[in-house]
Structure 1
Amino acid sequence: MQAIESALSTLSSWVWGPPLLILLVGTGIYFTARLGFIQLLKLPLALRLMFRKEDSAGDVSRFAALCTALAATIGTGNIVGVATAVKLGGPGALFWMWMAGLFGMATKYAECMLAVKYRRTDARGEQVGGPMYYIAEGTGLRWLAKLFAVFTLLVAFFGIGTFPQVNAIVDGAQIAFAVPQWLTMTVLTLLVGAVVLGGVKRIAKVASALVPTMAIGYVLACLLLLGLNWQAVPAAFALVLESAFNPVAAGGGFAGATVMYAIQMGVARGVFSNEAGLGSAPMAAAAAKTRSPVEQGLVSMTGPLFDTLIICTLTGLALVMTGAWQGEAAGAAMTSSAFASGLSAFVGEKVVTVALLFFAFTTILGWCYYGERAVLFLAGERGRTPYRWVFVSLVAVGGLLHLELIWLLADVVNGLMAVPNLIALLLLRKEIISDTRDYLASLRAAPGRISPSQA
């Protein structure tokens, strides 16, 4: 096991080295500049469009499509991922998570806009789309589209989709509620099977109910912690900013970190959390009921705002202001320690565990859908049912793997998935910019109107 972890650690360091970090953040910076800081200036419009119903082609509402994407992104990355980033990279890693989230909003806009533009109707009458389709049809590089689909399937099976989430649920239930591992895995497998075998509409329905509830509940708990310890908040922000540009010395259970490692951990965990640039969210966006690619892109770009700039920030501040990042605990236990210190031991443990249970469960559902989209692109309709059963089977055994091995494996396959998508976004950059400017020009010509025909 140690040899496997060592090999994966080396591979992860290579995959998430400077080239990929530059490509990820650089793509976000490029679209931010060329689209005129669209993630900031058009955020009010995006929030209005989120709840605007439209009678057009699509399988689910815009809000349901966003919730499906958020179901996949709001997961263990918001609790375990943030803790891992701060534990290894120091408080400064949180700053680089912010950068990944801010510029990731522009990337998310671009990829989700293309997903709606290039989507098609499958044999069941459902809308399918995502990087596989805009890579194949937009760039003509069908081999690259297939490569992306293969990496997506690997992420669904062995990365974000199953093992990290199942492991978090099993460990959390055992530690906080003394539930035996076998019982948690059995119940989880039955619940996942009941939902995913119902397809995208059932997944979207469950996500629309769970995602807002779980996110609001966790945010309120974090705000309570920050409110009760408000005197420590300014110092926590100052430490985050200082550590982002200066090495952090070892202290307590913290081994010390360079600035480069803080950047690497912050960006890697930020992308793991919000998935901007990975190409996952476009597959959910393609199912939205909309005639406007630009409008759905705007709605979808709010994902990193909710996921990284709000939820991850609250978790990170809790870790820094309570000093939990310098303790011996890691992962979910580290976040539990922060809540126990800021609130109480009982409340801290239960809040983190319950949040993890819901966050991880919905992430499993979202990534099952993404993996299914990849299978349909590669194998057609005949691959749908076998894929679902294999996915549910992996959920059944996902709690048996070692935590460190799980995160290393997830990092590797996540990074590989991002590369084909980012290449396609840059190749299609002129199309993205042109369509966006045409839509915004139509809005200026008819102030106050939001019409899908304007795209």
Structure 2
Amino acid sequence: MLEIIKSVNAVVNNFIWGVPAMICIIGVGLLLSVRTKFLQIRKFPYAMKSTIGKIFDKKDASDGAMTPFQAVCTALAGTVGTGNIAGVAGAIAIGGPGAVFWMWISALLGMCTKFSEVTLAVHFREKNAVGDWVGGPMYYIQNGLKKHWHWLAVLFALFGVLTVFGTGNATQVNTITTAINSALLNFNIIPESATKITNLIIGIIVAVMVAMILLGGVKRIGRVTERLIPFMALLYIVLAFGVIILNIDRVPGVFYSIVDGAFHPASVTGGIVGSFFLSMKKGVARGIFSNEAGLGTGSIAHACADTGEPVKQGMFGIFEVFTDTILICTLTAMVILCSGVSVGYGADAGAELTISGFTATYGNWISVFTAIALCCFAFSTIIGWGLYGARCMEYLSSEKWVKPFMVVYALVAIVGATMDLGMLWSIAETFNGLMAIPNLIALFLLSGTVVKLVKDYFARHHK
């Protein structure tokens, strides 16, 4: 039975992330970029000023909402996760260093894609029965498109509910247990035989923490993420920059391998990765897996923001993709490639490859800090995706089913901690692709609305 599931998933995954998906993801990103006159480049300084400047804005949000900065932290909680560590490692191992180049290209277009998603989510959002702001792809499809397109909203929400248990929870908890056990074993605190018990304990602790935060509502989610995300990102960035500085002599060669490997992967990987398309596919797929530009999920968090300006909130979408992929994913790639660790090209790899890059530079003691960073990355993703799943469940049923969903979602952490997840990463990637389809169709159809909102905003503000 397991082999049948693997085979079916492989066929579906290869189709979804094949040529049609590349054309759709890159095509929609290019269309939005052209129609907004490459707003992500023209207005990049304004986007940074409008977003980074909000870090010190401590104003309270109204009931049922988050501050704009809490909204972006919640969205970053969903995007800055194990995809930045395990996903990048896997992309390099399977697609070669050139996959990083295609991550950059997808991120450049993805900035405009995510800007459009956030802008539309805030513009077409609505209040639910308890007075909370709700929005996202299902709402901008329902409120922005004609009735004969509304089935796309149901499809997105359905795939969303199915995806969050794997992508947002089980795989993340598994990363937490791997990180903690790695640190405990490195220092001989526990024997190998005790890892199953520690996994169960970790799973129960995570489940309780997730339930407490999610059941506290959007304001509690916002408060947790605005504290966790800056700490997590700063710790990881400092450690990664340290690896680069200590191996500064290798940096020119690494950048050459990334650019050359994008077009001639065989010359960099010794012929093991010889397909230009494979390098491109893995770079784009893992880039999207990490920054979620095209999936529409991050816009669900932004719809909760206490703001009256959709375009201004949309600038956070540009900031997110830049932070997630151009900054953090690139640093992960540099850690792996600068450290000199052996990359087993042609075979998938995960967080262990990134961790080995840190330990090769700093020594085994750094496993404590990488464990903390990995736990923060993974836990923040669980919280962010918990909100996404709750909103999708609410759209499909009603608000009364949200709390039972959150309880079940929290309990999945125990399953994720105690099971061998093997192919779950591949299944999660497949569902991510399925979620992207209805969202990309909606973005294509609503591109004119994005252009109109952008023109109106900048005409009023003269920025």
Pairs within 5 Å for 1:257-268: 257-268=274-285
Match in the other structure for 2:305? 288
Equivalent residue number for residue 416 of structure 1: 434
For these two proteins, the number of residue pairs brought into alignment is 442
* Deviations, residues 114-153 of structure 1 (Å, cap 9, x unaligned): 0011111111111001111110121122211111100111
Matched, 1:39 2:40: yes
Alignment match, 2:355:
336
Paired residue for 1:155? 163
Distance change >3 Å, CA 326–CA 154, structure 1 → 2: same
Q: Which runs of 4+ in 1 moved over 6 A?
A: 54-58
Aligned counterpart for 2:375 among listed residues 344, 347, 357: 357
* Farther off after superposition, 217-226 or 190-199: 190-199
Contact 1:251–1:326 (Cα < 8 Å) also in 2: no
Instruction: Give the AA of the match of 1:106.
Output: C
Report Cα offsets for 1:77-109 as digits up to 9, x if no partner.
Answer: 000000010011000011111111111010000
CA distance in 2, matches of 1:428, 1:330: 38
- Provide the C-alpha distance between the structure 1 equivalents of 2:460 and 2:268, rounded to a whole number of angstroms: 55
Q: How far off its partner does 1:330 sit?
A: 2.6
Residues 378-425 of structure 1: CA distance to partner in whole angstroms, max 9, x if unpaired?
A: 101121122111111211201244343111111110000001011001
Q: Which amino acid aligns with 1:265?
A: K
The question of 1:135 aligning with 2:136 is answered no
Could you say what secondary structure the match of 2:305 adopts?
coil
The residue number in structure 2 matching 1:186 is 204
Q: What is the percent sequence identity of the aligned residues?
A: 40
Alignment match of 2:293 (pick from 276, 285, 293): 276
Alignment partners' CA distance in 2, 1:329 and 1:186: 29
Secondary structure of residue in 2 paired with 1:324: coil
Q: Where does 1:247-396 land on structure 2 (aligned, <5 Å)?
A: 247-248=265-266, 255-324=272-341, 326-327=343-344, 330-347=349-366, 349-396=367-414
Q: Alignment partner of 1:277: what SS?
A: coil
Return the match for 1:431 from 449, 458, 461. 449
Note the residue ranges of structure 1 that are not aligned, 5 or more in a row: 448-455
Matched to 1:156, the amino acid is: V
1:8-35 Cα offsets, whole Å, 9 max, x none, are 2222111111111111111111111221
- Measured after TM superposition, the shift of residue 163 of structure 1 is 1.7
After superposition, the Cα gap between the structure-2 partners of 1:302 and 1:308, relative to the gap in structure 1 and judged at 3 Å, is same
Q: 1:203 aligns with which of 221, 224, 241?
A: 221
| Residue equivalent to 1:71 | 77
Q: Aligned partners of 2:153 and 2:248: how far apart in 1? A: 49
State the superposition RMSD in angstroms.
Answer: 1.9
1:249 deviates by: 5.7
Runs of 5+ unmatched residues, structure 2:
186-194
The TM-score normalised by the length of structure 1 is 0.93
Cα deviation, residue 225, structure 1: 0.7
Q: Please tell me whether the aligned partners of residues 57 and 291 of structure 1 are also in contact (alpha carbons under 8 angstroms).
A: no
Q: Which amino acid aligns with 2:127?
A: T
1:305 maps to a residue whose letter is: F
Q: Aligned residue for 2:459?
A: 441
Cα drift, residue 62 of structure 1: 0.7
Q: What corresponds to 1:238 in structure 2?
A: 256
* Equivalent-residue separation in structure 1 for 2:111 and 2:259 (angstroms): 21
SS at match of 1:162: helix
Change (3 A) 1:259 1:410: same
CA contact (8 A) 1:332 1:352 kept: no
Q: Distance in 1 between matches of 2:44 and 2:60?
A: 20
2: CA distance, partners of 1:246 / 1:79:
25
Rounded to whole Å, the distance in 2 between the matches of 1:410 and 1:389 is 21
Which residue identity lines up with residue 23 of structure 1 in the other structure?
C
Counterpart of 1:440, as a letter, is F
Name the aligned partner's letter for residue 170 of structure 1.
Answer: T
Structure 2 equivalent of residue 105 of structure 1: 111
Q: Check 1:257–1:324 CA distance in 2 against 1; reply closer, same or farther (3 A cut).
A: farther
Distance 1:380 1:88, change over 3 A: same
Asked if the contact 2:107–2:325 (Cα under 8 Å) also holds between the matched residues in 1, the reply is yes
CA distance in 2, matches of 1:224, 1:387: 42
TM-score (norm. length: structure 2)? 0.91
Secondary structure of 1:350's counterpart equals helix
For 2:221 and 2:61, how far apart are their aligned partners in 1?
Answer: 21
| Distance (Å, rounded) in 2 between the aligned partners of 1:250 and 1:55 | 51
Aligned mates of 2:409, 2:22 — CA distance in 1: 30
Distance across 1 between alignment mates of 2:325 and 2:412: 28
2:190 is aligned with 1:172 = no
The answer on 1:92 being equivalent to 2:111 is: no
